[in-house]
Amino acid sequence: MATIDANPPSGTRDFLPAEVSRRERAFAAIRTSFQAHGFEPLDTPAFERLDVLTGKYGEEGDQLIFKILRRGEHEATGDADLALRYDLTVPLARVAARYGSQLPTPFKRYHIAPVWRADRPGKGRFREFFQCDVDTVGSDSLVADAATITAVADVLDQLGLSGFRVQLNSRRALAGLIEGYGIPEPLESSTLTALDKLDKIGVDGVAAELTDRGIAPAAIAALTADLGSDDLAGAVSDRITRSERGRQGLAEVDRVLELVGKVPGGEVAFAPVMARGLSYYTGPVFEVVHDGLDATIAAGGRYDGLIGMFQSLDVPATGGSLGIERILLLLEQAETAAGARLGPEVLVTLMDDDGAPDAMALAGRLRARGYTVDLYSGGGRLKLGKQLKYADRRGCRVALIRGEDERAAATVTVKDLSSGDQTTVAEADLSATLDAILGR
Amino acid sequence: MATIDANPPSGTRDFLPAEVSRRERAFAAIRTSFQAHGFEPLDTPAFERLDVLTGKYGEEGDQLIFKILRRGEHEATGDADLALRYDLTVPLARVAARYGSQLPTPFKRYHIAPVWRADRPGKGRFREFFQCDVDTVGSDSLVADAATITAVADVLDQLGLSGFRVQLNSRRALAGLIEGYGIPEPLESSTLTALDKLDKIGVDGVAAELTDRGIAPAAIAALTADLGSDDLAGAVSDRITRSERGRQGLAEVDRVLELVGKVPGGEVAFAPVMARGLSYYTGPVFEVVHDGLDATIAAGGRYDGLIGMFQSLDVPATGGSLGIERILLLLEQAETAAGARLGPEVLVTLMDDDGAPDAMALAGRLRARGYTVDLYSGGGRLKLGKQLKYADRRGCRVALIRGEDERAAATVTVKDLSSGDQTTVAEADLSATLDAILGR
């Protein structure tokens, strides 16, 4: 066979054991937290019928869909009939349409799964990556918005990412803001796009961009004066309250803040110029930032127009999404710094072929007592040095050595792989010796 | 928008919450067991480059590969450059070629993931289904074969599928059997295919099929006499020992039996006419059957020629595969019979909008004490009856009711949803009351 490129396809990753273990631990913590908050898991196929996906992500998004060729006699047509899922929201909308009355109302679900986008691969940008969404479908109550924020904050805290800030706003308050500064409604989304960059480009940058976008100088002057004020939130809120929509929006924000109350590990505050780029939001919106990490690690909001896309119904919905790939990267860095060992606790070595059944049985007895136990199962000559090197690569903490002498005497030699110390004990004392080394 | 078919694509499934929870629990138990045995998790992309997959599964298999259309300007060509993975073995071979020296030797990995085949959908046959493989790459030691069987047996026992039988054989012993009955080597695989059906078609059926396949009458007579014997294993073994290969094969079987010893929850025995269809096996082979369930629930063996497919190397390998979709079906039936409730333990109801912040805080305190707690977050009027119906659909065990009176008195009304009993207690006594109902 000709030499084949053994790398994974461009933009995708192989996850070797240490990385899978870390990812699985994070996923397990997320699942446990969401379930503790009453959210249920949902899973859908990796691919959907092509017509379910097309037209949902704009022209640019449609270009990035991975399409699956028809099969058998139809393959030669070069046509596609299926496509890999692009996000977890469209599948949720399909599920809501398909199983509506079988699902509880409201339907509270989370979904952790890969999605695929034929984006140009780059640093931290992949063609196969995980999304982690939590949504409540079928409720217009602000309790659902607050419950999303509470659950997301709890998950972040459980993952050890305390120190975050939840920035809360409302699309209604943003509309009131636009009205309050006398900016015409057709320029609303253009203005919000510029405002959303405040953290990155500063007040002057926003002013320049607003000028480019054709906002009247008087409005820009009033807005930038407030953005530069010591009490930004107070100054901007003052403008927002000038319109009915603005007052509704602020009341919405206040109610969500009241419902969420304190969150462990972080803070929640009104952020009057935080707009969340996406245009489909209709109510409260939030973004979770972590200053120490200089990253947005979660975001979400209410999007009442979207979930009913396959039904002739208005279906209210609100939810959030964890930036799970970014979070996993942060956890990886933290763990690498801590130098955690992740392999099986114990390696049972093999000194001679005759001892193999005894070693298998010993490994079995230790597993029954709750230890994770690897048994050396390599081929070739049974050299101890090679096996200890293997134990080190696997991240084992202890190696057990049991040659003919130890078997005859019903003892085991226990080698602590961190300190290098070794001691020979009666098998009856083995658990106590292991527990001491493993710090149980 | 035109009405769209909201079903998942043909041959695929949506997994609603109860089913995801059941599947996740099984996967978690499998992961824990394999890790206790020193196997590590691996994950690879859903798709591979097309040339990695083609030519690996025979002509029939190649027809079943889902191919992904090229993107952008190349889409119009109708050509594919990627394809969804068809199994977990070819990705393992690619990983072994790509990361060889970075992996420990032997490399013990498990992989639980979906694969995709464009098979005609049917009862219990899907186009997207999970495989669960456990393999040891880079060892020619029979300890590795035995360790696979031990791990697989332990997983089955942990999943509650005790009562299984592990049927063990060896490709060398099978070759010896063919030689022992004087059947020419070119007819070996044809003979084994017929023999493998013994359980289904009986001795007469096998004899008829062997005749059709052109085996000499004398060989058929000798073979069917032994197959009909009270001591089938003894009679057939007697023939096998007439050849050198046969003696090697029997020694291999004996050694694996010795190494595996007793397995909890099942039995392991030599099965001299069990052939395991696939032709790539080269050493010990096994099949796990469950008489009560009338199903093969796991299988595997040594396949030394396969993993080196992308390298110019011989890479010994042995492993097994759980029939995970079948196993999940069996677990589902068992659980439905037991009528398990799977939702959050507690629903905190909402009696009035003023009480919502208090209810959110109560739910938070209970979660901090380790309960899984849903808070009713539906819209519309807050009727208790509707919320209790919701609690029932979610499978909650307890509903908490806290109106204005209870809040003023710092009490909570606790409704046991199984018995219908309700009682009002001081919040300080809430945990004790919940624990009594939940049987903690």
ipTM associated with this complex: 0.92
Looking up tokens 């659902």, which residue turns up?
Answer: A144
Please determine, for residue A15, whether its predicted confidence score (pLDDT) is greater than 60: yes
**Residue B38 and residue A375: Cβ atoms within 8 Å?**
yes
* Separation of alpha carbons A334 and B392, rounded Å: 42
Mean pLDDT of chain B: 93
**Amino acid letter at A133?**
D
Domains of chain B (ranges, CATH numbers): 17-337 (3.30.930.10), 346-438 (3.40.50.800)
Say what the pLDDT of residue A91 is. Answer: 97
List chain B residues with CB under 8 Å of A149: none
**Residue A42 and residue B104: Cβ atoms within 8 Å?**
no
**Residue A38 and residue B102: Cβ atoms within 8 Å?**
no
Interface test with A, best of B65, B73, B139, B143 (most A CBs within 10 A): B143
Contact (CB, 8 A) for B156 and A394:
no
List chain B residues with CB under 8 Å of A126: none
CA–CA min distance B181, chain A (Å): 33
pLDDT digits (tens, 9 = 90+) for A23-51: 999 999 999 999 999 999 999 999 999 99
Beta bridge partners of A300: A286, A320
Name the pTM for this structure: 0.93
List chain B residues with CB under 8 Å of A24: 31, 41
pLDDT digits (tens, 9 = 90+) for A232-252: 999 999 999 999 999 999 999
* Separation of alpha carbons A379 and A356, rounded Å: 12
Question: How many whole angstroms from its chain centre is CA A387?
Answer: 38
Q: Which pLDDT band, with edges at 50, 70 and 90, does B156 fall under?
A: very high
Find the mean pLDDT for residues A273-293.
86
Mean pLDDT of chain A: 93
A110-124, A133-147, A338-352, range with the lowest pLDDT: A338-352
Q: Which pLDDT band, with edges at 50, 70 and 90, does B341 fall under?
A: low
pLDDT digits (tens, 9 = 90+) for A365-394: 999 999 999 999 999 899 999 999 999 999
Say what the pLDDT of residue B412 is. Answer: 97
Say what the pLDDT of residue A234 is. Answer: 92
Say what the pLDDT of residue A100 is. Answer: 86
Please determine, for residue B387, whether its predicted confidence score (pLDDT) is greater than 60: yes
Q: DSSP characters for B254-274? A: HHHHHHH---TTEEEEE-TT-
**Residue B72 and residue A49: Cβ atoms within 8 Å?**
no
Say what the pLDDT of residue A277 is. Answer: 66
Please determine, for residue A191, whether its predicted confidence score (pLDDT) is greater than 60: yes
**Residue B46 and residue A108: Cβ atoms within 8 Å?**
no
CA–CA min distance B40, chain A (Å): 6
B-chain residue closest to A14, CA distance: B44
**Residue A116 and residue B67: Cβ atoms within 8 Å?**
no
Looking up tokens 């093999």, which residue turns up?
Answer: A350
**Residue B143 and residue A394: Cβ atoms within 8 Å?**
no
Q: Which pLDDT band, with edges at 50, 70 and 90, does B2 fall under?
A: low
Say what the pLDDT of residue B415 is. Answer: 97
Q: DSSP characters for A40-82? A: EE-B--SEEEHHHHTTSSHHHHHHTPPEEE--GGGGGGT-EEE
CA–CA min distance A371, chain B (Å): 7
SS3 state of residue B52: helix
Say what the pLDDT of residue B189 is. Answer: 87
**Amino acid letter at B118?**
A
User: Do you know the residue count of chain B?
Assistant: 440
- Smallest CA-to-CA distance from B379 within A248, A315, A313 is with A315
The four Cα atoms B254, B258, B264, B267 give a dihedral, to 10 degrees, of 20
Please determine, for residue B58, whether its predicted confidence score (pLDDT) is greater than 80: yes
pLDDT digits (tens, 9 = 90+) for A249-275: 999 999 999 999 999 999 999 999 998
Find the mean pLDDT for residues A177-195.
92
Contact (CB, 8 A) for B434 and B422:
no
Say what the pLDDT of residue B46 is. Answer: 98
A-chain residue closest to B68, CA distance: A68
Which among B8, B44, B377 has the least Cβ separation from residue A136?
A: B377
B430-438's contacts with Cβ under 8 Å and 24+ in sequence apart are B430/B366, B430/B400, B431/B369, B434/B345, B434/B346, B434/B366, B434/B371, B434/B398, B437/B397, B437/B398, B438/B345, B438/B371, B438/B397, B438/B398
pLDDT digits (tens, 9 = 90+) for A55-104: 999 888 999 999 999 999 999 999 999 999 999 999 999 999 999 889 99
- Smallest CA-to-CA distance from A28 within A331, A377, A440 is with A331
In A52-176, beta strands by DSSP E: 67-69, 80-84, 107-116, 128-137, 164-170
- Smallest CA-to-CA distance from B33 within B110, B115, B103 is with B110
Q: Are strands A80-84 and A284-290 parallel, antiparallel or unpaired?
A: unpaired
B-chain residue closest to A308, CA distance: B1
